[in-house]
Amino acid sequence: MPKHCGLHSLLFPYYLRLTVSSMLVYPMKFLFRALVFSLLTCSTLFAQQLEDASIKIDMASLLDPVQDRTMGIPPQESAAYYQLLYTVAHEDATASIKRARDFWKNRQQDHPEFQQFTHPPFADLFKNPVEYRGQIITQTGYAQRIVKYAAGENEFGIKTLYEAWIYPESGQSNPIVVVFTVPPGTGMSLGDNLNYRIGVTGYFFKLYGYPAQDTTRLAPMILAGALEPLPTRIDPGLIEKRIYFFLGAFVFVMIVMGWILYTGLRKKPKSVVQSSLPDQLPALNENTEERPDSSD
C-alpha cells in the first residue's frame, strides 16, 4: 500500500472526530452552510435544465415565421436568425458534430439512395428545406468568398457577422451560404476568388434568395459558429492523369532522342584518310605490254 494511503487511513478517524465535533459545537452554522450549498447546487441544475428547455421551445416557435425562397432576412425572421447564431456559438462543438452525424444517419436509413454521401447533398437540401430547418448538419467544401459586415440590432450582443460562400464537394457548381460569428482562423483571409477547403457544422436555416447577374438565385443557408480549415484534398483522378502525362512525355522524349541519334550516326562525316581514297580503283589492263627499260 502506498505511504500516502496509509497516512490518510491513520488521519481519517481524526477528520471524522473533527467533523462531528464541529457539528456539535456549531450545529446551526454547519446546517446553514449545508443548506446554502444544497440550494445553490439545485438552483444551478434547475437553471440549466430550464435554459435547455427554453432553447428547444424557442427554436420550435421561432422557426415558424421562416420562409424559403425569400430575399435576405426579413424582420419576422430576425429573432430566429440571431437566436440560432447565438446558440450554435455557445454549444459544445463535439456534441454538435455528433448530433449532425446522428441526424444524417437517421435520414440515410429513411432514404437509402443517400448511402453514398458522407454529408447531406446539395440536391436534398434544395428540394427538402422544411425537413432540414433547425437541424444541425455538416458540410465540407471550398470557400471561394468570405466577407465581413456589421450585424443588425439583436438582443444577444452579436456585433459582427461573417459570410462565406462555399461550394460543397457534393455539388461544386452550386454554392451554400454560411453565416458565422467567429473570425476566420489562421491561414484564411477575407476576399474573393479564394479556395479554402473547410468544414462547417451549423443549423440549416432556409433557402436564401440572393441577386445574381442574370436573375435571382437560391442557396441553402447554414448558421454556424466558425469555419474549420481542412487539408486540401488531392483528386485521385488528377494524380492518375498526371502520371499518364509524365509517362507519355518521357516516351516522347526518348523517341525524339533516339531519332536524333540514329540520323546523326548516318550523317557522320568521313575521316581524312577515307575522304582521300576513291570510291573505286581503276581496273588494270591485262593486254598492256611491258615497256623496255630506257637505260638500255
d(CA 132, CA 26): 60
d(CA 134, CA 137): 9
pLDDT at 143 over 90: yes
Residues β-bridged to residue 179: 163, 223
- Lowest average pLDDT, out of 51-55, 213-217, 224-228, goes to 51-55
Take residue 164 and report the three cell numbers written for it.
Answer: 462565406
The domains of the chain, with CATH numbers, are 70-233 (2.40.50.140)
| pLDDT number for residue 48 | 46
| pLDDT number for residue 4 | 44
User: What confidence category does residue 147 fall into, taking pLDDT thresholds of 50, 70 and 90?
Assistant: very high
Q: What are phi and psi of 177, to 5 degrees?
A: -100, 130
pLDDT at 169 over 80: yes
Give whichever of 11-15, 172-176, 216-220, 246-250 has the largest mean pLDDT. 216-220
d(CA 34, CA 36): 6
Share of the chain above pLDDT 90, in %: 52
Residue 104 vs residue 231, higher pLDDT: 104
pLDDT at 285 over 70: no
d(CA 100, CA 97): 5
User: What confidence category does residue 86 fall into, taking pLDDT thresholds of 50, 70 and 90?
Assistant: very high
SS3 71: strand
Q: Which of 4, 192, 160, 30 has its CA nearest to residue 89?
A: 160
pTM over 0.85: no
d(CA 272, CA 14): 118
Strand positions, DSSP E, 17-127: 70-71
| b/e burial code for range 204-221 (CB count within 10 A of at least 16 → b) | bbbbbbeeeeeeeebbbb
Block residue for cell numbers 448538419:
137
User: What confidence category does residue 52 fall into, taking pLDDT thresholds of 50, 70 and 90?
Assistant: very low
Question: CA torsion 250→253→254→255, rounded to 10°?
Answer: 120
Kindly list the distances between the CA atom of residue 170 and the CA atoms of 8, 116, 119, 132, 266, in Å, as whole numbers in the listed order. Answer: 61, 10, 8, 17, 59
